[in-house]
Amino acid sequence: MSADLPTAKTLPPLTPGTLYLVATPIGNLEDISLRALRVLRECDVVAAEDTRRTGQLLKHFEISKPMLSYFQFNEAKRSEEILERLKHGEKVALVTDAGTPGISDPGERVVRAAVAAGLRVESVPGPCALVAALTASGLPTGEFHFIGFLPHKSGQRRKQLEALKEFAGTLALYESPYRIEKLLGELYEVFPDRTIVLARELTKKFEEFLRGTPGELIALVAKRSLKGEFVVLVSGEEDVPTDNADNADETR
């Protein structure tokens, strides 16, 4: 037997004094959830990583809400302000530019502060580049290690990659288009025989998965310019079969 789906009239109202972590689309606007839209419509204020970008999102869905900026360099000050708002019973929706707050994006600091203060935090799950890339990569998903962004300094990057050589599961990290060639060179030195998956433009018109060894992908990247943010996945076993990179392009 199937349960009746809740309607707008039967859904419970938002809880006062709650910090809502609202996942927003990483590319395709259709990926926003009905619950996310309801929270954004019913909250008292939206704490946004970039108020201009979030403003465009709200405008697209015909939502008008006051916003305050919350990003890496003002987290301490804004966290205090957000906590004061929550203590006064306000409903605060926290969003980043794209994806799930706290995953290589602002959010972790205010969540920890809210939890420490005994305040309520609720996740409104949705799009996440890590999950989108991992599940479609073709690599094992039973065990994986998420690194986020590697350090900028070459020595620190190399040290972190070397420390992950013995990890049995799939490795996942984020990289910008400006450093993707550098990263492939580092992977060639540390993981020369592993299967690498480059996932870019996720959920967008030109979504693409490139698969191959580091050497094969270096040769491929040398022939063409790759734009967009990347999720990079590294197989955990050196004997995973790899396809030739020229035959492994999968574009949508």
**pLDDT score for 1:** 46
Distance in angstroms (rounded) separating the CA atoms of residues 207 and 145 = 23
**pLDDT score for 73:** 77
User: Of 178, 186, 121, which Cα lies nearest the Cα of 158?
Assistant: 186
Q: Is residue 181 helix, strand or coil?
A: helix
**pLDDT score for 214:** 97
User: Residue ranges of the domains in the chain?
Assistant: 18-124, 129-251
**pLDDT score for 77:** 83
**pLDDT score for 226:** 87
The reply to whether CATH 3.40.1190.20 applies to domain 129-251 is no
| CATH match for 18-124 among 3.40.47.10, 3.40.50.2300, 3.40.50.300, 3.40.1010.10 | 3.40.1010.10
In the chain (252 residues long), the average pLDDT of successive 10-residue segments reads 57 95 96 97 96 96 96 83 96 96 91 96 97 97 95 93 92 95 96 96 95 96 90 79 47 40
Q: Do the beta carbons of residue 44 and residue 85 sit within 8 Å?
A: yes
- Predicted structure pTM score: 0.87
**pLDDT score for 213:** 97
Distance in angstroms (rounded) separating the CA atoms of residues 250 and 112 = 40
Distance in angstroms (rounded) separating the CA atoms of residues 195 and 171 = 11
Q: Do the beta carbons of residue 69 and residue 78 sit within 8 Å?
A: yes
